[in-house]
Structure 1
Amino acid sequence: MYKSGILRVFARGWTGSRGFFGGQGPSSKSYDVIKPQQVTPQISPDTFPKDIVCPAYARTGIPDPAPAQPEIHTQASIQGIRAACQLARRVLDEVGSRVKPGLTTDDLDQIVLELCMTHRAYPSPLNYKGFPKCVCTSVNNVTCHGIPDNRSLVPGDVINIDITVFTGGFHGDCSETYTVGKVDEPAQKLIESTRGALMAAIEGVTPGQPIHRIGSVISEFVTHTPYTVVPAFIGHGIGSYFHGPPDIYHVPNRYPGVLTPGMIFTIEPILSEGTHELILLEDEWTAVSADDSRSAQFEHTVLVGKERLEILTE
């Protein structure tokens, strides 16, 4: 979820090149700096069978209002969100297992659509505020909200796949960063550290502590790595709505409130090899690093229990 602070520079005429974070010189590993490709037309929600319940924004593009305060979920809504999260995980695992060189991100989008159809679910990103695809696919220097297109994945790419599904009246949300073929060691370490930052946050806070402690735990973890947290994207409350309170910052902050049993939200840190500054492309969705550095992201939806945070998307 985007929050204020992103560097809004429209990159007209921006073209791709080669990135060299992770080493310089003839023996260094390099990767493609991604440039926008042709995006195929948006899928119409009218193509979904009538037995698949779609959120209202599927046709309007306008999300329903979220609660003004973090929701304390009932047992019934917890079970509904848990089911949606379990399906999101199944879809993510299946899509992730198919990542390979030669596949386009459009191909991945089609796989997500087919899996959602099979499970009688709706891919939550589709037409959310006009987003044109079923999944976000962020490759290499694309930090977040990459739109699937006709570029083929190549060995050395890293790709974040962000899956959210709507089923039974609730959303479930998770993401992981995958490697395409053989990648360089710096990419592997970036991915490992990002996964570690997420798990440090989940394991390092307890009910009754301030919500903003999540950002402090992640920041402390990242100080022991060579990476930078990208602060412009945050976790969010989730339920019958896609995004709502609480806002989960991944850097030190003063967000009010305490972790209360029954809250459900995502934690989804992004770590960058280089700068935290971003460029937002003309499509008004795709955010890329200002210095072409790579990033990685991992995301879980969690429930605040009586003694700990429970992962709903594992």
Structure 2
Amino acid sequence: MATCAGINCAQGNAKMQCPKCKDLDISSFFCGQDCFRKSWSTHKSVHTKPQAQPKDDMNLMKLAAALQQSGSSGIGRGEPMEEGAYDPFPNFPYSGTLRPHYPLSAKSKVPDTVTLPDYAKDGTLNLLKATYGLAKGLASIKRLSSEEIDVMRRVCRLGRFVLQQTAKQIKPGVTTDQLDKYVHALCMANNSYPSPLNYHGFPKSVCTSINEVICHGIPDKRKLKEGDIINLDISLFKNGFHTDLNATFPVGKIDADSQKLIDTTRKSLDNAIKICKPGTPFRNIGNEIQPTCDAEGFSVVKTYTGHGVGREFHQSPTILHHTNMRSKGEMKVGQIFTIEPMVNASKSYHVEHWNDNWTAVTRDGVRSAQFEEAILITENGCEVLTAADDYVPPAEHVTIPSIKADQDVVTIDDI
């Protein structure tokens, strides 16, 4: 039975195939018309087939270099490629100057001692659907027991530790591939699985989204540059539960407009967290976020949402970050969900996707920022499970060296 390809939906009884996908011989199914319509703005990107590529990497590198020199690669000129890297989609109409830097490194390995989520081996979700069920609607919103909450609290603190340690490695000259290897090593050292790895086929252990990339950026050979901004989206799985959090960081010294974008995005998230308590309608979250961003001339991305998190990486409820009075449901004690506004530095909230079918970018090429926290609804309000603190994983005693520029492989001692 096929898994639904809808946004934040993982139904196991998807039988309705997208007509366009059928014509293109793409395996893509939905659980119903409503889910198909809601997901269309994102799903349609899979219909763009990658252009035919030269037979080998050397030819592709030569073609990409020629197109870039002529200015025909995308809208305007892209950044110079790092030595030995190439753009796999040289004729793609990029909205900004950022380009993918291929070839990608091999997927990081996971030892047998680490417990795997259900999708780790083949990229599809199946075990948890059979065990816990994925009924649609408000009835499927999980309310965790005190014992489950205690596990989630520890897993979320570990996620924050991984984010904070990785953020210390951000500097000009470091590649996003190095950051990915660093995250992976930290997860392995703490006997946890990096949730993005092979989730619906995602090839890396962390999402790294730079400048005009809104989310789901794939780590590659591009070196961070002074003045960039980068979002690290950290998710990991341990003791049967996932955590999910992210933050946007400056690379060296950034301009005032980029700092304003980062500050406003964080402020919008904080404003939303302040209203979280039992009985608050979920729609009120967007009512706090969008006005905060509108006041600065920014826009809130509508394509992607927050979500429940716990035994499943993504589950109910769906958290909208923009104003929408049709959003149903209210917060109840024991629920855990993420709030993760994505904010563009213009009035355009529209999203485009690169031909890798993952990287989401701003349509007009402006910068985008994002912050994410996992929220637990309590009797008296809420608890930010992923909040910054001085937590250090117990009894691991793992030495993690800093990443050095031009260091292709991150070596971790004492793992």
Q: What TM-score comes out, normalization by structure 1 length?
A: 0.90
Structure with larger RCO (C-alpha < 8 A, sep 6+): 1
Residue 59 of structure 1 pairs with residue 132 of structure 2? no
Aligned to 1:276: 349
Q: Deviations over 1:36-93 (max 9, x none)?
A: 121424426xx32222101121102012336321101111211111111111100000
Contact 2:276–2:377 (8 Å) recurs in 1: no
1:241 aligns with 2:312: yes
Asked whether the 8 Å contact 2:287–2:322 carries over to 1, the reply is yes
Task: Count the aligned residue pairs.
Answer: 300
Matched with 1:227 is: 298
**Which ranges of structure 2 fall in alignment gaps of 5 or more residues?**
1-6, 9-37, 52-72, 80-95, 388-415
1:297 is aligned to 2:364: no
Match of 1:156 in 2: 227
Q: For residues 106 and 292 of structure 1, what CA distance do their matches in structure 2 show?
A: 23
Task: Quote the residue 1:218 is aligned against.
Answer: 289
Task: Tell whether the 8 Å contact from 1:268 to 1:298 is kept in structure 2 after alignment.
Answer: yes
8 A contact 1:136–1:161 mirrored in 2: yes
**Counterparts of 2:75 and 2:44, CA distance in 1:** 17
Q: Secondary structure in 2 aligned to 1:60?
A: coil
Listed as ranges, the matches of 1:198-217 within 5 Å are 198-217=269-288
Aligned with 1:292: secondary structure? coil
Q: Distance in 2 between matches of 1:124 and 1:294?
A: 26
Deviation at 1:16, TM superposition (A): 6.8
- Percent identity over the alignment is 41
**Counterpart among 337, 347, 351 of residue 265 in structure 1:** 337
Larger Rg belongs to:
2
The more displaced of 294-303 and 73-82 is: 73-82
* Distance in 2 of aligned mates of 1:309 and 1:42: 40
What corresponds to 2:178 in structure 1? 107
2: CA distance, partners of 1:296 / 1:209: 26
Q: Would you tell me which structure has more strand in proportion to its own residues?
A: 1
Summarize the alignment of residues 19-38 of structure 1 with structure 2, pairs less than 5 Å apart.
33-38=97-102
- Deviations 1:224-278 (Å, cap 9, x if unpaired)? 2221101111001011110000000001122221100110010000110122111
In structure 2, the CA distance between the partners of 1:188 and 1:7, relative to structure 1 (3 Å rule), is: farther
Counterpart in the other structure of 1:128: 199
Equivalent runs, 1:9-20 vs 2, <5 Å: 10=48, 14=74, 17=77
Task: Please state whether the residue corresponding to 1:215 is helix, strand or coil.
Answer: helix
Question: What SS is found at the alignment partner of 2:170?
Answer: coil
**1: CA distance between counterparts of 2:276 and 2:190?**
34
